Structure 1
């Protein structure tokens, strides 16, 4: 946000401005006549800015009076009116310290430089010459430079006195690592922030080069003390930064500096929730940056858990309660940082999402709050309108904080209680008076507090009642075994359970099972909080018995990973969606029980029932994989599998909710497969090239990648269903004889074979998150006996000279899924040539009919054997939607027959690979009556809808024989009219 334009200087501040200008003119006069002339030569705009700033900030006036030459130098350099370039501030300080010859002089120069920069920054902030980002950035850069350059000045002098610290294991000289925490770590320092630091060093050992060596820890403790003194001690020149070391392990009672191993051990064994919260913003601000990066990587698992960690909500809630108690005790309701609707509440909102989701969503692993808010919006965690209010409210609060602190360079967030300072704050923020400013401030505090309560509030809190009401409390006695079986069954029956005895047995079986008995105290407490909620919501459904039956396996599966129970306890809406989906589909219930990480998808209702379009799918997956190191294959495979599971659940949920029709379901599932295959090909290519080098084309140029993945069957026809496998064929257009150019060269044929093997490995390997897809490669030339990867030329020769008619039928539904566009176009040309040749229709009808009869005999139900196909649907027998007479395959065979029979005359029939659009083409060119074409389309969609429903119910694609009788007769009628009997 931008603040309003500066208001006119209020009357109460006018005397301050006049007195300030007179005092400064006197100070310049004491310097020299030239100084007075330089001041009088200032342009009116700068003179006016001086009056405003000096009236608003006692600190600026005091610094200018103490050192008027500093103000003249700043004005002469132009730095009051321009932004500093990247690195300019550090470069200036390095010059200031270049010839520093003593520790006392170091402290003096650091303080004087800090005062110069503080004056410049406040001048620009109060004069609307710098926005919030620039002000916080300059202050943070100033702190970084003072810390790091101060450290690097002290280190060689300390080594000269005590020796150089050497690592016992590495034998290398050791440097300290200085972590900046809080606002410094996030690059968000305010005008009078203290700095929170943690010191560490890589490894133990001793100093070398002196008679009496020091232990490395003792060396760095002494060095740390000297650095703190250089920054924190108050002298006649003031201080550099107030330095707080209490965030280190064990706080004030702990050692000042720890080795990396000691830090890792502490956070692993004893780290508390508030320390996770603090460590989110940790950044290396001084010392050895390479070692610092290693330390942060070591500590990352402590901060970001690999699973969804809703226990962080409870920890933040507890921290907020402690803060509120302190605010009430000290009467700090007017504190814009800690009070209701203050800065800390915005930080808590952002960090709640970071702690919960950051282990899995790497985009949340960042420090600046405004960037985190942008990510929460971009990734769909919070609606844009909420983010906009949080952003504007936060920026207004931070501008207010700067106004409060600019007055006297004092670390305060309390609103003033005197008229003069109130006038200053309102003036700085651009308001005509305190009342207008305060109304706006309270508006933003109210909005922030409201959003904070939506995220952090205890779900047990009844917002409209004075006393807390525990959701599901009426079920506590039953779960805690505080009533006998008869009473428990009576309560279950009264609540709507049709079989209360079975429900009771399920609950007692869980309570007395080995999983629950082995739970630690915290996990059992979470389970005890969750089960009453589960029962309370289950009885709201029409079939609570079914809900309990399908959800209990999930509860048993996650009992030992109770963070998932916290997720559902903290999010009643997610629990409600879980029960609804599990009641509707045992397939979904089984998926979530097998892969509890899918519970994350239930948190965002809008995202759950609105899967992204194809471009967004591809971009999202690419973004996820870009955050994983290229050589971390395990994480890449897990990310691919989680992506597939998550989006598969979204599609199934949308289908059940009715927000996604059948054709769109298949579209989304196909887009999902294509997005995954695109990344799998890229990963496999990178791995194979890094090992063997790049293969060559016939002309000697490098392949890039000259490889395509062709989809057949359902994926080729854009008709994937839940749990469908992939029929794939791999084709390359490289030189099979030419060797690759890597350290371990192999010929092109071997390279592409290994590339294909790597792709299949990535797709089919079982990990903790299952496999991506089952892959069927039998449609490649010569089937299972053929090469895994065919050259384009060999594929063309096989299709033209050796392929059976059924293979050409399959080619009708073949299309390029991913890979090289040039090779893809060449494949399409081969396909069009093979399918578009003129055929003997009698022979074609006979071969298609013969193949279909074999399939009915081998795959259909008994009564649909070829001899009884016409009458099969009359019998009281099951109907196989796919294989039986009049079913899906009959329609597919008719479409394929038509494409093979007439595409030589009507090449537009080969434009599409899906049956619906091929049928449209047959109607358009007059080869199939419009009524019949539309009938086949509708019947085909009806069959597939039924098959989808069966899949979601974990049932085979077979329905009762009394269903679809008219449809089956119509299909067989058209079959016969095409001469395919």
Structure 2
């Protein structure tokens, strides 16, 4: 007997029970007799935050049920895991909801239906439950029933923190509406005498409510005749539009609504409704008219009141009046930052909140204490109110949404935002679990071992709940406090402070030592740049003295700090008189950091920027580095050509747009590769860093601007040939992209391989049509090949029939005749990447229809054709590799490089695309993925090939970014080689690792190519 008891005790202890004696007694009681031996029940209890509490709650619920209903509960409990998890999870996390179920045992049915992870009940769903309540107690019961479902989704993980907080806010909204409707039904005369709108404030307004919180509101009322109805004559109590009577009636309604929610009865209370955020607080009238609100906010409101209004939203009552209130108030909120001492006032208010916390509670205060929730909220709100004046994307009332918007806009570093997001979620989850236990409004971390243990287990710390909870809580609190100090008190100058006073003064002696320590190769030249930028007493020089210490450190976090500083001086000289330039760098920390990255990461982006310095503005806006859509870009290019007086001017306009977009693409690539944050010693790519995604994005952007450039140049060429569109071109004309262009795989230095095709218009002489089409092609190439300082766009038409010996332009019929009679294997191979890119779209489609049978042959390839392709590949490897090149590091033609991967994939397309339509794509990665899905390539082999192709592409892009000219091999210059390594993600001093990794990964790819391409 004693042995069995010891065994039971041990089992209960292993499942997390702290009072196994009581647990055994409860399990052996009559209430659970039907399930006491079911091991599933014990496992489920052990998975809860507090197994002892969950078991006691289950017993109380079972005892409260009639015999038949109890059997139904227990049968369902053991058979249905969703109910088991939800019911026991709630009972283990909330003593208060256990009490509710003991009083209203039938409410367990509210937990039977499994809520899928994507289910998010809203206000309407909650209203359907609450509007059925006949009296305030019924409303309280309905509220608790809805709360059961929210808590179940919460503790079972089918709703995350943001969703649960939003559901709680929606439940509060539905409750306010039901309470207001109840008050109106009790006081119909008052309801008829006014229009009343309830404005949600605080966490309710921000859609991020706690389980138990005062629901902050503001009341606004108007007479029941419309916003513009005239007031009645004084002293006429029967007039229909008397504001005084309306306010009195609304006040009675509002007061009754508040009591319905706040009063405590046998059913408990819902939550207090707090109207103290209204004008004049407790000393002001409970309800005001809209004009009275506006008069107060215009004349008397304090800074904190506008900060509070940031979260305001209508939640109940007259919707039109609520919308009118928001339309009137919102502009005031976003002008508040213009008030004198605004930032100082907000900072002082936060300090006062901390100072007023009792000393005995400050270490346990989860909400108001240092490193608590308010630190996150105040920092986010301050940044919102400052930057949201001009950026409407920052105006969310929800803290985490606003934080994400700030990060997306560059106002907060991505790493900082991620840390704050993680910390805020964890702290709010702690707050939720603490409040859920007794459904009491508290923000203090408990101090008893039992409560802390329950809290830790509820947050997932099972092995050592107390140590796990304390360690994670303190870690997040420290991070919140650090970032709060950085963003809230020193949002712009935190990096300057870290450099020290000597660095910020830029004195010659200290500067020389500092520059040498930072890695500047020519400190004397660097000092000359600093003196030119920062000397004098002008406002521009003062701002530069603030910026330069930060920029110097950012430049130093690159392979070529000297080039970065020189580039910054050139840009500043070009834009120094432009008022927005330094303001952009001073006020938008992300813009300055991005500029530093761009200027110090190679030659291509700075060279482009020097020719169009105003493109710096792209670095300071939330969407500045996002390329425009292809349609929008093409429309801009064609419009620019249309405005030009001559074809040459049109082509110049096209080149200008191309220059800007190439800079945008290069800058975005560099910034996303290195990451926005430079608070680390070595460059670390962001968490979402994906080389393949970066390559695809660059390729898509360069393809878009290249195709738009061709469309614009084609329009200019046609206008030139037809004398300014005086006569229509006698032939339809289309440009077909080939090679990397057709595959949408262009890099920064890629040529544009094309074919030109025309089709005479009906009734036009064939010779005349051919002559005009040839003139257009010649003019297009002439316009694009005008020598400029921009990276050239070389139009290569050598893949046309008969190569350089053949006509530049052919008619569609001529292409058909040629491919039918004369096409060679390599030409059909080249057609795999053909795709229309500019000119007449119908003609482009007809060309594709013409070539499909040749590039996707119905019979595949015979053995001789396969041997021919292999011979061509082997010949290319031996003859086209530049003399002296290392075949192990040549990105295009070398071992495991682009050519190896592409020819392997294209051979599969030639052999199988006729029967497998998924292979009919012009892109290498897309075709490789399709071949893998079709079972033609093993997934592991495909991964090796894809990795090598992406790596080789990134090497070519890196060389162009670093050197400003295309290349297929790693640079010989040590500084350039180091810059390539930094672009590829290697820390300083790891160039050897980069080369070794490249050789290893491409060697693996070559082994796959040998098997798939050469051996078949």
Question: TM-score range with shorter-chain normalisation?
Answer: 0.5 to 0.7
The corresponding residue for 1:332 is 362
Q: Which residue among 886, 895, 899 is the counterpart of 2:808?
A: 899
| Structure 1 partner of 2:667 | 653
Equivalent-residue separation in structure 2 for 1:846 and 1:40 (angstroms) = 87
| Residue among 708, 731, 746 paired with 1:799 | 731
Matched, 1:193 2:213: yes
- Aligned: 1:160 with 2:197: no
- Secondary structure of the equivalent of 1:179? strand
Aligned-pair CA distance for 1:416: 1.7
In the alignment, structure 1 residue 557 sits paired with structure 2 residue 578: yes
The 1:57/1:351 distance shift into structure 2, 3 A limit, reads: same
Which aligned pairs between 1:17-166 and structure 2 lie closer than 5 A?
38=69, 42-43=73-74, 57-60=94-97, 62-63=99-100, 68=103, 71-75=104-108, 77-79=109-111, 87-97=124-134, 107-115=136-144, 117-118=146-147, 136=165, 138-155=167-184, 160-161=189-190, 164-165=193-194
Counterparts of residues 723-872 of structure 1 (less than 5 Å): 726-727=712-713, 776=716, 779=719, 782-786=722-726, 798-799=730-731, 831-834=757-760
Q: Give 2:434's match in structure 1, choosing from 383, 399, 404.
A: 404
Find the aligned partners of 2:397 and 2:721 in 1 and give their Cα distance. Answer: 54
Q: What is the root-mean-square deviation in Å for CA atoms of aligned residues?
A: 7.1
Residue number in structure 1 paired with 2:254:
224
Distance in 2 of aligned mates of 1:6 and 1:402: 27
Are residues 1:596 and 2:596 paired? no
In the alignment, the residues of structure 2 paired with residue 544 and residue 194 of structure 1 have an alpha-carbon distance, to the nearest angstrom, of: 54
Q: Is 1:239 equivalent to 2:279 in the alignment?
A: no
Indicate yes or no: 2:357 matched with 1:425: no
Tell me the residue number matched to 1:9.
Answer: 17
CA separation of 1:489/1:382 partners in 2, compared to 1, >3 Å: closer, same or farther? closer
Secondary structure of the equivalent of 2:131?
Answer: helix
1:511 aligns with 2:538: yes
The 1:10/1:665 distance shift into structure 2, 3 A limit, reads closer
**3-state SS of paired residue (2:171):** helix
CA offsets 1:657-685 (integer angstroms, 9 cap, x no match): 9999xx999955554449xxxxxxxxxxx
**1:336-363 CA-partner distances (Å, limit 9, x unpaired):** 3445655456656876886687788877
Distance 1:448 1:546, change over 3 A: same
Q: How does 1:163-312 map to 2 (within 5 A)?
A: 164-165=193-194, 175-201=195-221, 203=227, 210-211=237-238, 213-215=242-244, 220-234=250-264, 237-249=267-279, 251-252=281-282, 256-257=286-287, 278-279=308-309, 281-293=311-323, 295-296=325-326
Hey, what does 2:651 align to over in structure 1? Answer: none
* Unpaired stretches in structure 1, ≥5 consecutive residues: 98-105, 166-174, 517-523, 623-642, 675-710, 717-725, 730-775, 788-793, 801-807, 819-827, 861-878, 939-943, 953-981
Cα distance change, pair 330–671 in 1 and its aligned pair in 2 (3 A): farther
- Cα distance in 1 for partners of 2:579, 2:756 equals 52
Shift of 1:284: 2.7
Q: Give how far 1:60 is off.
A: 3.9
1:574–1:602 CA contact under 8 A, matched in 2: no
Label 1:107 to 1:560 Cα distance change in 2 as closer, same or farther (>3 A).
farther
Is the CA contact 2:384–2:406 (under 8 Å) kept in the aligned structure 1? no
Residue 677 of structure 2 corresponds to which residue in structure 1? none
Shift in Å, 1:280: 5.2
The equivalent of 1:457 in structure 2 is 486
Counterpart-to-counterpart distance in 2, 1:657 and 1:140:
38
What is the rounded CA distance, in whole Å, between the counterparts of 1:582 and 1:305 in structure 2? Answer: 42
Change (3 A) 1:498 1:596: same
Deviation of the 1:264 alpha carbon: 6.7
- Structure 2 CA distance for aligned equivalents of residues 880 and 278 of structure 1: 56
| Pairwise CA distance, 1:147 | 0.7
Residue 715 of structure 1 pairs with residue 710 of structure 2: yes
Question: Could you list the per-position Cα deviations for residues 510-545 of structure 1 after superposition, in whole angstroms to 9, with x for gaps in the alignment?
Answer: 7168xx9xxxxxxx9x78744665678789635856
SS in 1 for 2:219: strand
Q: Whole-Å Cα distance in 2 between the matches of residues 438 and 619 of structure 1?
A: 57
* Alpha-carbon distance in structure 2 between the residues aligned to 1:537 and 1:426: 41
Is the CA contact (8 Å cut-off) linking 1:343 and 1:398 kept in structure 2? Answer: yes
Sort the Cα spacing of 1:488 and 1:123 in 2 relative to 1 into closer, same or farther, 3 A: closer
Could you tell me whether the CA contact under 8 Å between 1:401 and 1:413 is conserved in 2? yes
The answer as to whether partners of 1:349 and 1:455 remain within 8 angstroms in 2 is: yes
Secondary structure of the residue aligned to 2:362 is coil
2:569 alignment counterpart: 548
Describe how 1:259-658 pairs up with structure 2 within 5 A: 278-279=308-309, 281-293=311-323, 295-296=325-326, 325=355, 329=359, 331-339=361-369, 342-344=372-374, 366=396, 396-426=426-456, 428-429=458-459, 435-443=464-472, 445-447=474-476, 449-450=478-479, 453=482, 457=486, 469=497, 471=499, 473-474=501-502, 496=523, 507=534, 511=538, 529-530=546-547, 533=550, 541=562, 544=565, 547-551=568-572, 554=575, 556-558=577-579, 562=583, 564-568=585-589, 573-574=593-594, 576-577=596-597, 580=600, 585=606, 587-588=608-609, 591=612, 593=614, 596=617, 598-600=619-621, 648-653=662-667
Give the Cα–Cα distance (whole angstroms) in 2 for the partners of residues 269 and 590 of structure 1: 50
Residue 114 of structure 1: CA displacement? 3.5
Helix, strand or coil at the partner of 2:173: helix
SS in 1 for 2:243: coil
